[in-house]
Amino acid sequence: MIEVNELTKTYGSGERAVMAVDHVTFTVHPGVVTGFLGPNGAGKSTTMRSILGLDRPTSGTATVNGRAFRDAPAPLSELGALLEAKALDKGRSARNHLLALGATIGVGAGRVDEVLELVGLTDVARSRAGGFSLGMGQRLGIAAALLGDPQAVMLDEPVNGLDPDGIRWIRTLLKDLAGQGRTVFVSSHLMSEMELTADHLIVIGAGRIMADMPMGEFIRQSSQHRVRVISPDAARLRDLLVGPQVAVSSDAPERLEIEGLHAREVGIVAAEHGIVLHQLVDVAPSLEEAFMELTRDSVAYHGSVAQPGKAA
Amino acid sequence: MVTDTDTERTTTGGTTSPPTAPATSARPATWGRVLRSEWIKTRSLRSTWLTAAAILIVVVGFGVLAAMAAGGDISGPNGGGPRLAGRGGPLATVLAGANLAVLVVAVLGAVVGAREFASGMIRTTFAAVPRRLPVLGGKLVTFVAVVLPVVLVGLLGAFFAGMAVLDHSGAATLSWSDDGVARALIGQALYVVGLGLIGLALGVLLRSTAAAIGTTLGAVLFLPALATALLPSDWSTVLKYLPSNAGSAFTSLNPTGDVLTVGQGAAVFAGWVVLASAGAVIALLRRDA
């Protein structure tokens, strides 16, 4: 369990002070994968760094399993974290890197070899970590996070640099960890990936929490849900479906787009009236659509089209 | 007993603990375990052993070479072979490599102190040991444990081999039991390691390898020498408290000029090491990593 309470972090001072995180409060519960979403510069990393005690909050608190992480007797067994894949010493082998970390809580070579096997780095365990690709670095960072068999895992952009196989592997791993009753807190800017992995969402924008709810609810409340139907008898179905809460549109003779009903309800109506359906699809808005809608006004760094002649 | 039970309950996490049995048996991150972690880090870097070898070669090699030059066994750059042994005495001759060792060890200290900050490893380290202080303790202890024996062995090797060379060519020699010799040799070893510790502390304080090396060598070694040479002599009452001058009070056999006593020099130098370390502690605990 990770609890963040009224966390505020300001960098710099005086007029140049930048408030990276502004009175942020949320709880990450065990047993589910909690996704942490936000545009670049929204405060994701600052929040994670404050939870780890790497940054000292300007005000507010962050606790892991009920106490400040700094006070954890065996820190690596309470919260395993991956912040940057390349936060390691390039001259040391992967195995020695993990041995040194494990030594802080009395975890030895047996467990080190186990996590190396788990992340698929056994073959390169004795090679210098400086020669690793970004993807291998991520795997080593994940190995470090899992080393102490922690009750909570916090990963910042874990799928960065991983190949499709690696991404699938992470997805399964995170779900397994949550299934074992652990707290899993993961940030990603890859919406489609987050949509597949996370059960719960915390959305941050411009240093403030904008949403904290189950994934399904977030998608449902943020955007309109549609049902797409293809039927030779589209006109008759349309007349049966339209109502005060239901809008039906059509861009081709046999096609319907229905707002305000779910596919299940449309299917029942069609069956009751013996209407043949060739296709019946729930078109849920993607997480990306829902997210963009929510954070449109809070993106810190908008891309802009360069204006020729106006360059400084 | 009541507190024991309470602790037990807290560490197992009560009802929120994962349903699966832990695969590892994690133990508290004590100072001893963090020290072991730092030792593994030091041991597993090739540069540690290369530097140790470099220290030995420099100290023993230059000591023997200087003894040979002083004894007339080899010619100096000007072809002449005057008996140089008299310039600083036989001890200074055989410890010719010690000044180079000072540079090597001071640089090593700065690198050890700043290395993890430069690579970003420090965030991984602090995520494993969020109390931070044991990490610095582990680094300081490991540094002394590795460097002090190497420097001592090097100085003793230079002393005995150098004296044998001098003796062979009939120049004046000193023996281990002569007055002040043992003290000067051990003092020299402690001085070299102490400068390394100052370098380490400055590395942690400045978090940049280049800045730490520059500051250690510049402010601690060259600036005092420069000040001694340029400032009026009545400044010497202040200058003698600088690290290098305080060091020479207990590393040289026959100190000349206005210097501290052996005891004072050792105390003042130790004070500098403690001061630098205290600065590192404060920076380490207060800063965002």
Interface predicted TM-score (ipTM): 0.84
For residue B107, how far is the Cα from the chain centroid? 9
Contacts of A99 in chain B (CB under 8 A): 40, 44
The pLDDT score that the predictor gives to residue A42 is 87
Q: Over the Cα atoms of chain A, what is R_g? A: 24
User: Domain for residue A306, yes or no?
Assistant: no
Q: Give A177-211 pLDDT, tens digit per residue.
A: 999 999 999 998 778 888 899 999 999 988 999 99
The secondary structure of A42-110 as a DSSP string is SSHHHHHHHHHTSS--SEEEEEETTB-GGG-SSHHHHEEEES-TT-S-TTSBHHHHHHHHHHTTT--HH
Nearest by CB to A181, which of B19, B122, B130? B19
Cα–Cα distances in Å, from A288 out to A126, A202, A219?
40, 14, 9
- Kindly state whether residues A99 and A141 are assigned to the same domain: yes
Q: Is A279 on the interface with B (CB under 8 A)?
A: no
The pLDDT score that the predictor gives to residue B257 is 67
Contacts of A92 in chain B (CB under 8 A): 41, 44-45
pTM here is 0.83
Q: Is B278 on the interface with A (CB under 8 A)?
A: no
Q: Is B31 on the interface with A (CB under 8 A)?
A: no
Domain end position, chosen among A205, A220, A235: A220
Size of interface A-B (CB pairs under 8 A): 133
Domain total in chain A = 2
- Kindly state whether residues A135 and A241 are assigned to the same domain: no
Q: Cβ contact (<8 Å) for A76 and B29?
A: yes
**Amino acid at the residue A310:** K
B172 to chain A, closest Cα gap in Å: 47
B55 to chain A, closest Cα gap in Å: 21
- Kindly state whether residues A116 and A256 are assigned to the same domain: no
Q: Cβ contact (<8 Å) for A180 and B19?
A: yes
User: Domain for residue A212, yes or no?
Assistant: yes
CATH classification at residue A113: 3.40.50.300
Contacts of B29 in chain A (CB under 8 A): 73-76, 104-105
B144 to chain A, closest Cα gap in Å: 19
Element (H, E) at B109: helix B98-119
Q: Cβ contact (<8 Å) for B127 and A83?
A: yes
Q: Is B28 on the interface with A (CB under 8 A)?
A: yes
Q: Cβ contact (<8 Å) for B34 and A104?
A: yes
Q: Is A181 on the interface with B (CB under 8 A)?
A: yes
Nearest CA to B51 among B103, B110, B102, B108? Answer: B108
- Kindly state whether residues A160 and A240 are assigned to the same domain: no
Contacts of A83 in chain B (CB under 8 A): 123-124, 127
B31 to chain A, closest Cα gap in Å: 9
More confident residue, B237 or A79: A79
User: Domain for residue A132, yes or no?
Assistant: yes
Instruction: Tell me if A189 sits within 8 A of A214, measured CB to CB.
Output: no
pLDDT(A223) > 90: no
Handedness of CA A32, A38, A41, A42 (dihedral sign): negative
Mean pLDDT, residues A291-311 taken together? 54
- Kindly state whether residues A113 and A204 are assigned to the same domain: yes
B118 → chain A, closest CA residue: A89
pLDDT(A285) > 80: no
A68 → chain B, closest CA residue: B130
The pLDDT score that the predictor gives to residue B81 is 43
**Of how many residues is chain B composed?**
289
Task: Return the percentage of chain A with pLDDT > 70, whole number.
Answer: 93
- Kindly state whether residues A126 and A248 are assigned to the same domain: no
User: Domain for residue A309, yes or no?
Assistant: no
Domain end position, chosen among A170, A197, A220: A220
Question: Comparing A124-133, A261-270, B228-237, B259-268, which segment has the lowest mean pLDDT?
Answer: B228-237
Q: Cβ contact (<8 Å) for B23 and A72?
A: no
pLDDT(A225) > 80: no
Q: Is B116 on the interface with A (CB under 8 A)?
A: yes
Q: Is B11 on the interface with A (CB under 8 A)?
A: yes
Q: Cβ contact (<8 Å) for B44 and A93?
A: yes
Nearest by CB to B18, which of A101, A105, A180? A180
Contacts of A76 in chain B (CB under 8 A): 26, 29, 128
Mean pLDDT, residues A156-174 taken together? 91
pLDDT(A296) > 60: yes
CA distance A209 to A216: 18
CA quadruple A50, A72, B16, B22: dihedral, nearest 10: 120
Parent domain of A256? 224-284
- Kindly state whether residues A128 and A241 are assigned to the same domain: no
CA distance B275 to B289: 22
- Kindly state whether residues A117 and A61 are assigned to the same domain: yes
B46 → chain A, closest CA residue: A91
More confident residue, A165 or A311: A165
Nearest by CB to B40, which of A54, A65, A103? A103
Nearest by CB to B119, which of A75, A90, A104? A90
Q: Is A273 on the interface with B (CB under 8 A)?
A: no
User: Domain for residue A146, yes or no?
Assistant: yes
Domain end position, chosen among A202, A220, A238: A220
What is the DSSP-derived secondary structure letter of residue B173? Answer: -
Contacts of A86 in chain B (CB under 8 A): 120
User: Domain for residue A294, yes or no?
Assistant: no
More confident residue, A163 or A296: A163
pLDDT(A70) > 50: yes
- Kindly state whether residues A154 and A11 are assigned to the same domain: yes
Nearest by CB to A54, which of B13, B44, B127? B127
Q: Cβ contact (<8 Å) for B130 and A75?
A: yes
Cα–Cα distances in Å, from A181 out to A58, A150, B20, B35?
32, 11, 8, 33
- Kindly state whether residues A151 and A50 are assigned to the same domain: yes
- Kindly state whether residues A232 and A104 are assigned to the same domain: no
The pLDDT score that the predictor gives to residue B254 is 76
User: Domain for residue A100, yes or no?
Assistant: yes
Q: Cβ contact (<8 Å) for B115 and A89?
A: yes
More confident residue, A29 or A288: A29
Q: pLDDT means per 10 residues in chain B (289 residues)?
A: 39 38 72 97 94 95 92 59 56 90 94 94 96 97 97 96 91 87 94 96 95 89 79 79 88 77 93 96 93
- Kindly state whether residues A166 and A228 are assigned to the same domain: no
User: Domain for residue A302, yes or no?
Assistant: no
